[in-house]
């Protein structure tokens, strides 16, 4: 009888070692290496189609036909936008998010919408019974004979049901509950998650069935399990938001079939998630008129411009080291912009506490928001409000210059549509396009010019 081979695998990052160690040398976490029994070297010849797939041969790239991937579209345009236009057949999508944020609700609604189009959908729940899933479906008003529900965690039985039903769309909720019998470890461990995802990827690619898997997240907000899990799938979506707030944000961080900067916004209702078609109005509906430290910026989220309010509060510091806190923007940009204001404009901010916030819970990370942050800081420090009809767009350099931004015309058109009267922007962005009617575009070269133009006297 052959001796069983064992190894020690880190449950946080997937690092493998021949012997036990108290501290993982890869992620530096303590007591995370767990003994695992290596799987047998024999190949598993089972496939959903019941046969063995022949080895593929290399082809000339010029001989491969270029075909546009057909997509399955849902009734939620926000979900379609984040995926790049819809669900690609044969794709494997990973959806992560905090517990109770609404991942299961979103995917059950998506499944029902596809089932209403006479597509067979299989919803596999490893955490809830079929009765629990039925209760959620009743609350959401879901009634479709093409939607099948299965409460199973054994990957072999799941594969068997997919082979029998031949669905057009599959949801696995969640991957941490699925186990493969050949892997001698507990469900949710690194080997189980890796091998189960690899098997599901083979099913999706071989049969052209799009599969969406739900992944748990860690305390830090990253998807639990090995990092290679995100490399294996075709798209990674994060469902973000506060559980006690009504708005949710679906953000794509990886997408092989579309942009990785798209964002979809949903509102949580009693009857489920409702998509928000114009998020700019929501982010600006509670804006205070005439308040110092408040500015509006047009930020690009993928292919869509979103108008967001940026708030700043500058107050004298009571400590030796002033505080610099930011919510929704990169915290390292705040002291950088304050240094530019102090050096190039002459604002004495070295003994001031600074608090920056993006209203609505949105996270902005593009350089075009620099000017709005700088103006809001100066507005709060001088206690001078900006005009409510003004919007600020531009990147701020270390020498105080205002640099051009991309997709400027789309940002201005969105501002004009929402009733803004003036855009303060880089002067180099004024050439080569037509200004919409009803809005004035003012070009500036430096932060000083922007402050002289934007702060109300």
Q: Residue ranges per domain, the chain?
A: 6-37, 71-277, 282-454
| Rg for the chain, CA atoms, rounded | 26
User: 282-454: same fold as 71-277?
Assistant: no
Among candidate residues 216, 181, 10, 252, the one with its CA nearest the CA of residue 100? 216
Please give the biggest Cα pair distance in the chain.
Answer: 88
Q: Would you say 104 is a known binding-site residue?
A: yes
What does the pLDDT read at residue 429?
Answer: 93
Q: Would you say 258 is a known binding-site residue?
A: no
Q: Name the DSSP letter for residue 26.
A: T
Q: Would you say 138 is a known binding-site residue?
A: no
| Average pLDDT value for residue range 103-123 | 95
- The topology under which CATH files domain 282-454 is Ribosomal Protein S5; domain 2 (3.30.230)
Cα(166)–Cα(169) distance, integer angstroms: 9
pLDDT category at 221 given cuts 50, 70, 90 is low
Residue pair 224/187 in contact by the 8 Å Cβ criterion: no
Among candidate residues 164, 172, 82, 162, the one with its CA nearest the CA of residue 127? 172
What does the pLDDT read at residue 43?
Answer: 47
Residue pair 211/179 in contact by the 8 Å Cβ criterion: no
Cα(298)–Cα(159) distance, integer angstroms: 47
pLDDT at 48 over 50: no
Q: Would you say 264 is a known binding-site residue?
A: no
- The topology under which CATH files domain 71-277 is Rossmann fold (3.40.50)
What does the pLDDT read at residue 277?
Answer: 84
pLDDT category at 224 given cuts 50, 70, 90 is low
Q: Would you say 102 is a known binding-site residue?
A: yes
Q: Would you say 332 is a known binding-site residue?
A: no
Residue pair 423/393 in contact by the 8 Å Cβ criterion: yes
Q: Would you say 100 is a known binding-site residue?
A: yes
Q: Hey, is 335 helix, strand or coil?
A: helix
Count helices and strands (H / E) in the chain: 11, 21
Q: Report CA 165 to chain centroid distance, whole Å.
A: 32
Query: 309 has which bridge partners?
Result: 296
């Amino acid at each position: 009888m052959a001796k069983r081979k064992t190894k020690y695998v880190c449950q946080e990052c997937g690092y493998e070692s021949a012997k036990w160690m108290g501290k993982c040398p890869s992620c530096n976490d303590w007591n995370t290496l767990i003994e695992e029994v290596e799987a047998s070297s024999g190949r598993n010849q089972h496939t959903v189609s019941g046969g063995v797939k022949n080895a593929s041969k290399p082809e000339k790239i010029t001989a491969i036909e270029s075909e546009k991937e057909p997509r399955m579209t849902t009734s939620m345009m926000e979900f379609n936008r984040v995926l790049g236009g819809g669900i690609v057949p044969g794709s494997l999508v990973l959806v992560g998010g905090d517990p109770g944020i609404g991942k299961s609700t979103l995917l059950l609604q998506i499944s029902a919408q596809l089932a209403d189009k006479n597509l067979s959908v299989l919803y596999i729940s490893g955490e809830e019974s079929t009765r629990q899933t039925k209760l959620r479906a009743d609350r959401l008003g879901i009634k479709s004979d093409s939607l099948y529900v299965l409460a199973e965690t054994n990957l072999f039985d799941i594969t068997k049901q997919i082979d029998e039903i031949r669905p057009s769309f599959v949801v696995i909720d969640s991957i941490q509950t699925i186990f493969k019998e050949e892997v001698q470890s507990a469900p949710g461990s690194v080997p189980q998650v890796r091998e189960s995802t690899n098997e599901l990827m083979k099913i999706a690619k071989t049969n052209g069935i799009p599969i969406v898997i739900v992944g748990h997240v860690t305390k830090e907000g990253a998807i639990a399990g090995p990092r290679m899990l995100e490399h294996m799938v075709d798209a990674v979506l994060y469902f973000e938001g506060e559980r006690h707030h009504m708005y949710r944000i679906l953000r794509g961080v990886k997408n092989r079939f579309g942009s990785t900067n798209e964002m979809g916004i949903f509102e949580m209702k009693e009857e489920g998630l409702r998509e928000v078609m114009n998020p700019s109005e929501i982010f600006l509906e509670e804006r205070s008129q005439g308040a110092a430290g408040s500015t509006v910026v047009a930020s690009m989220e993928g292919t869509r411009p979103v108008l967001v309010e940026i708030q700043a509060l500058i107050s004298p510091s009571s400590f030796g080291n002033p505080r610099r806190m930011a919510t929704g923007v990169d915290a390292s940009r705040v002291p950088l912009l304050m240094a530019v204001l102090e050096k190039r404009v002459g604002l004495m901010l070295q003994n001031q506490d600074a608090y920056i916030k993006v209203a609505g819970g949105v996270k902005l990370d593009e350089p075009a928001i620099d000017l709005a942050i700088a103006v809001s800081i100066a507005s709060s420090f001088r206690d001078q409000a900006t005009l409510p009809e003004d919007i600020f767009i531009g990147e701020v350099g270390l020498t105080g210059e205002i640099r051009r931004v991309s997709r400027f015309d789309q940002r201005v058109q969105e501002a004009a549509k929402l009733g803004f009267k003036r855009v303060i922007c880089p002067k180099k962005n004024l050439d080569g396009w037509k200004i919409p009617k009803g809005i004035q575009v003012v070009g500036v070269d430096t932060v000083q010019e922007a402050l002289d133009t934007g702060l109300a006297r």
